[in-house]
Chains A and B, each alone.
Chain A
Amino acid sequence: GQQLNQSPQSMFIQEGEDVSMNCTSSSIFNTWLWYKQDPGEGPVLLIALYKAGELTSNGRLTAQFGITRKDSFLNISASIPSDVGIYFCAGQGPGNQFYFGTGTSLTVIP
Chain B
Amino acid sequence: NAGVTQTPKFQVLKTGQSMTLQCAQDMNHNSMYWYRQDPGMGLRLIYYSASEGTTDKGEVPNGYNVSRLNKREFSLRLESAAPSQTSVYFCASTESWFEQYFGPGTRLTVT
Chain A residues with CB under 8 Å of chain B are: 1, 4, 6, 31, 33, 35, 40-45, 48, 50, 88, 90, 92, 95-103
**A44 to B44 Cα, complex, angstroms:** 16
| Contact present for B102 and A42 (CB under 8 Å) | yes
* Contacts across chains A and B counted by CB atoms under 8 Å: 60
Scan B81-103; emit 1 where CB is below 8 A from any A CB, else 0.
00000000010100001111111
A100/B101 in contact, CB under 8 A: no
Docked-complex contact B42 and A102, CB < 8 angstroms: yes
Cβ–Cβ < 8 Å partners of B44 in chain A: 1, 100
Query: Does B32 count as interface, using CB distance less than 8 angstroms?
Result: no
In the complex, which range does the number of interface residues on chain B fall in?
Answer: 20 to 34
Partner-A contacts on B (CB < 8 A) = 4, 31, 33, 35, 40-45, 48, 50, 56, 58-60, 90, 92, 97-105
Q: In the bound complex, do residue B50 and residue A96 qualify as a contact, i.e. CB atoms below 8 Å apart?
A: yes
Are A42 and B90 touching (Cβ within 8 A)?
yes
Whether A4 contacts B98 in the complex (CB less than 8 A), given A42-B105, A43-B90, A95-B56, comes out as no
Report the bound CA distance from A79 to B44 in whole Å: 29
Q: Are A50 and B56 in contact (CB under 8 A)?
A: no
Are B4 and A92 interface neighbours, CB within 8 A?
Answer: no
A101/B42 contact (C-beta < 8 A), A42-B102, A43-B90 known: yes
